[in-house]
Structure 1
Amino acid sequence: MRSAERIVSSARLGELYECSALLRRTRQRAEEIVNEARALLAEAEHYGDPIRVLALNAQLEEARAAYRRILQAYTTICRKIAEERSAIIMAQVEETRTAMNEGLSGVA
Structure 2
Amino acid sequence: MGSAVHVAEFIVSSARLTELHECSALLRRTRKRAEEIVREAGALLAEAELSGDAERVLALRADVEQARQAYCKVLNAYVAICGRITEERQAIVEEQFARSSRHQGLSGVA
Q: Report the TM range for the smaller structure's normalisation.
A: over 0.9
Deviations 1:28-71 (A, max 9, x none): 00000000000000000000010000000000000000000000
Q: 1:75 corresponds to which letter in structure 2? A: V
**What is the 5 A alignment of 1:1-108?**
2-101=6-105
Q: Offset at 1:98? A: 0.2
Q: TM-score when scaled to structure 1?
A: 0.93
Structure 1 residue ranges (4+ consecutive) displaced by more than 3 angstroms after TM superposition: none
Q: Offset at 1:4? A: 0.2
**Paired residues, what number?**
102
Which runs of 5 or more residues in structure 2 are unaligned?
A: none
Look up the SS of the partner of 2:52 in the other structure.
coil
Q: TM-score when scaled to structure 2?
A: 0.91
Q: Determine the C-alpha separation between the residues in 2 that align with 1:71 and 1:64.
A: 10
Which runs of 5 or more residues in structure 1 are unaligned?
A: 103-108
Q: Determine the C-alpha separation between the residues in 1 that align with 2:54 and 2:40.
A: 18
Q: Determine the C-alpha separation between the residues in 2 that align with 1:42 and 1:49.
A: 10
Q: Determine the C-alpha separation between the residues in 2 that align with 1:34 and 1:5.
A: 42
